[in-house]
Chain A
């Protein structure tokens, strides 16, 4: 048994043994779980993929005379201004009013991080304290006050794979799904995926310090649509979308390499977010959890050809098979493709490992566990 404090002390002394969630797998095979529990202090996990439920809070500072903004455009992308005078929330999937699906909130966020100049246009409602009605200026991330990345739903614990039984190509957030089961797209980083390595949320909780977009961030709660009750297999891994995280961090420390605006054909705009989460190896149960490999992680395949909330399932498949490039669907051999970047997830897991090994990043024990008893509700359509 190790505590967070003991592990942090070892990090401070430069003695902590840190491995990525990929590196720990062969070690466990060779030496066994017991030795992993004894020797390894921290395992790093990561993911890098499109996460639409992302966005930034911005505070522009007050103009002279002051304005109470109620409609705000950043490079022609609308931001939500129903907050205090010069506070807005810019969502990753907001679309440009000029360029439509080619440019949106995700791109503005990437350009802010890259220190590019952004056009700000705002309309206000004239009041005695805020007399200005209209303003046009440019901003950069350095000329404004706060820029806080705050993503209400990231880091899905497993995600369903997608295929298409219909007669036409479907353009979805899972990419292009070719007709007549032309491909199967999958999105989770499998054995590197954070919540799959801590399926009971023992160490990942509210307050956990993480790698977020190239800087440090924090988990501030469960994410929207958090679904801890998802059906699990005998390995304790949910068989479809389950837990989610709400994360927050200072955009000013982040890097445009790990926050990338994206346009997804036929769907819209999103933001690729890079997230890395450290998992302390407190005991043998945690050692067991982090040594899970792609062969033991299953997900369900859903048919996006049926445009309903409950899509028919075409069975379960593990990530080892998905990553082989082809799977069998009934009797047909169907090519598979990822829609999140395993190469970038690997890079992030390695960076987080370096940060911890070098004593630049310490672990935080959650101040509260993520809920395990909430239910995911469908919409109550009652009119």
Chain B
């Protein structure tokens, strides 16, 4: 069964030079979408990934990461759009590079496509109504 899972990976400094994600693709046949990455040489690295593939492959891939010393958290964070508060002004669509937030050209109402969202959080401060929030 194909599934997808969003995870936050924290790499110890010692692993910063190791191509760990390559192994996930090559050995575990996983498709990955990097949502966010922060890797500083000689320091801890953080990677937010969406992994898709067979359920058993994802599980095996995550065990591989654990054995390498990578700590794993499930990504429970989500963008929440308060539709009661939204006035469909369009301010947020200016900063959404993924087109996850867009104006419907018929209704001119704001539409949020969660699938496209990479949680960059740019829209959160931009919304004049404070209608977009990060939920944990």
Contacts and interface: CB of A to CB of B under 8 A. Distances in A.
Given A263-B130, A270-B128, A338-B103, A346 B108 contact: yes
B127 to A, nearest CB: 9
B89 A339 contact: yes
A367 interface: no
A175 B130 CA distance: 14
A213 interface: no
Given A262-B129, A264-B128, A178 B94 contact: yes
A148 interface: no
Given A176-B91, A265-B125, 15 more contacts: A50-B128, A177-B94, A178-B95, A183-B94, A185-B94, A263-B128, A263-B130, A324-B105, A338-B90, A339-B89, A341-B87, A341-B90, A343-B107, A343-B109, A344-B88
A342 interface: yes
A176 B108 contact: no
Contacts of B108: 338, 341-343, 346
Contacts of B107: 343
Given A341-B88, A343-B88, A265 B126 contact: yes
Nearest to A102: B130
Q: Which of A50, A323, A342 has the most CB of B within 10 A?
A: A342
B130 A340 contact: no
Interface of A: 48-50, 175-178, 183, 185, 260, 262-265, 270, 272, 323-325, 335, 337-344, 346
B103 A272 contact: no
A48 B126 contact: no
15 contacts: A48-B87, A49-B89, A175-B126, A176-B94, A176-B95, A177-B94, A264-B128, A265-B126, A272-B89, A324-B105, A335-B94, A337-B94, A339-B91, A343-B107, A344-B88
Contacts of A272: 87, 89, 128
Contacts of A340: 89-90
Interface string B84-99: 0001111101110000
A340 B128 CA distance: 11
B98 to A, nearest CB: 12
Nearest to B125: A265
Contacts of A344: 87-88
A262 B131 CA distance: 11
Interface in B104-124: 105, 107-109
B126 to A, nearest CB: 5
Contact of A175 (B87, B91, B109): B91
Given A48-B87, A341-B87, A341-B90, A260 B129 contact: yes
Contacts of B125: 265
Contacts of B128: 50, 262-264, 270, 272
A268 to B, nearest CB: 11
B9 to A, nearest CB: 29
A118 B93 CA distance: 33
A292 B109 CA distance: 23
Contacts of A178: 94-95
Contacts of B87: 48, 260, 272, 341, 344
A43 B63 CA distance: 67
Choose among A49, A185, A263, A337 the residue with the greatest number of B CB atoms under 10 Å from its CB: A337
B56 to A, nearest CB: 41
Contacts of A335: 94
Contacts of B89: 49-50, 272, 338-341
Contacts of A49: 89
Contact of A342 (B88, B94, B126, B130): B88
B88 A175 contact: no
A183 B99 CA distance: 13
Contacts of B90: 175, 337-341
Scoring A176, A340, A346 by chain B CB atoms within 10 A of each residue's CB, the highest score goes to A176
